[in-house]
Amino acid sequence: MNMNLTVRYMIELAMTVPAAVIAIMLVYYSRKVKKPFLFGLLAIMLTAVIVGGGILCAMTGITSNAFVFPAMIAFFIAYNFCFALSVPKKLFCFANATLLCGFSTTYATFLTAPMELDNPDHVYTVSSGLICLGIAVVFGAIFARTLLVKFPDLFETDSLESAWKVLDIAPIVTTASVVWMNPVSAENVMTGRLRMICLVVLPSIPAVAWFLYHIFWWLAKKMTETTKLQHGYDLLQMEEKQYRRTRRYLQETSEIRHDFRQHIVYISELLEQGQIEKAKKYLSPIMETVNRTHRIICTNQAIDAIANHYDDIARSRNVVVSWSFDLTDKLPIDEADMCAVMGNLVENAIQAAEQLEGDNRLVNVRIGLLPPKTLVISIYNAYKGRLILDKNGLPVTEKKKHGIGLRSVRNIVERYGGTMEIETHNGIFNVSILMYAPD
């Protein structure tokens, strides 16, 4: 076995290391396996590719690309297993890593062409391989902040959930184009001004990608802000509705008190005349007004408005909501976020309960505070049919756009450093949430 040739192949295959780092940067905090398992598996696979692939390529004379492309399938299977994002998101992250490293290889081919003119093998010399590896490291460092800071925000934007199926096409197609542009031999590169032109033009590929990623992040941030403003507007509408209801109640009770003496006198006259049925008929609208009392569900004004809004919806669907609150005037989280969390959960629970019959059409809502500033939410209800939770702990459904609300809730909960657990047992669906006040 030619040791020099093996080392050169191993250096070339070492490009999988920065590719793996770039791919993991994007999804590191979405891992669903423990760190020792993740890095242990990564070390085994990279060692197998670099060492085993280097030996195999040196012995058979195949190119490193011919070995890497099949190995990428195994890498993606492991990648898909280790992280909890949707497949389109993971495919985008994986393709982004291959794009940066594919660009580095192509650029290094043009850059080191004069050094490779006398190279008879289909593999870089040691110096060219190290230069290629260095270019990948440099571009990985340039993209590091974008990958670590910007993309987590993109992944949390629920309105983009369906768009990832289209967005992941761009890095895949670009990667294929970059690999196709990679020259077959150094002699082709040195033809005319081709090399100089490509050295100047090729960096535009990662530059455009970097620019588009930031534009994409800015648009996603604006969409998130718009969604939050919409939640705030919804809350204001609920509070206005509750205010009008309170005013109407005060006006009605004031009129009843004002006319109370006249009502008593007239009813007494009817009873003295033995006109009991007429007295009952006269009392009926009065009792209806009295019974239509103003209901204060929670002392917190914002929560009371949300609760009354969904309580009205539940009553219109013949669903009973049992409310229990232990809150103060000041919430540990933003009111608009609370509106989004509570609204999504209660609305889902009401929709599930209305599919049932009898006493099962019940939703239980429990919200309270734990010292020092921890918000606790527990909502449970019965449901009809069979419910399966996916690997992310969210219900699996075939209904279009169904489940987006729960993903939105989970994103808000995680933003406050909290946890959300969903349990299904004996036909009961239970959501338990902990959220903590920001520092």
The H-or-E segment that residue 323 falls in is strand 320-326
Query: Which of 123-132, 171-180, 209-218, 303-312 has the highest mean predicted lDDT (pLDDT)?
Result: 123-132
Tens digits of per-residue pLDDT, 391-423? Answer: 566 665 545 444 457 877 888 888 888 999 988
The H-or-E segment that residue 130 falls in is helix 126-145
pTM beyond 0.75, yes or no: no
What band does 2 get if pLDDT is binned at 50, 70 and 90?
confident
Q: How many degrees, rounded to 5, is the angle at CA 142 between CA 196 and CA 183?
A: 35
Query: Which of 179-188, 226-235, 318-327 has the highest mean predicted lDDT (pLDDT)?
Result: 318-327
299 pLDDT higher than 60? yes
Residues 6+ apart with CB under 8 A from 93: 23, 26, 27, 85, 151
Q: Rounded to whole angstroms, how far apart are CA atoms 348 and 328?
A: 26
What band does 1 get if pLDDT is binned at 50, 70 and 90?
low
Q: Rounded to whole angstroms, how far apart are CA atoms 235 and 298?
A: 15
209 token code pair: 């990608």
Query: Which of 27-31, 71-75, 183-187 has the highest mean predicted lDDT (pLDDT)?
Result: 71-75
Q: Rounded to whole angstroms, how far apart are CA atoms 251 and 246?
A: 9
Lowest mean pLDDT among 27-36, 141-150, 217-226, 252-261: 252-261
Average pLDDT for the chain: 82
Lowest mean pLDDT among 17-21, 333-337, 373-377: 333-337
**Measuring CA to CA, how many Å separate 140 from each of 17, 26, 95, 112, 178?**
11, 12, 14, 20, 17
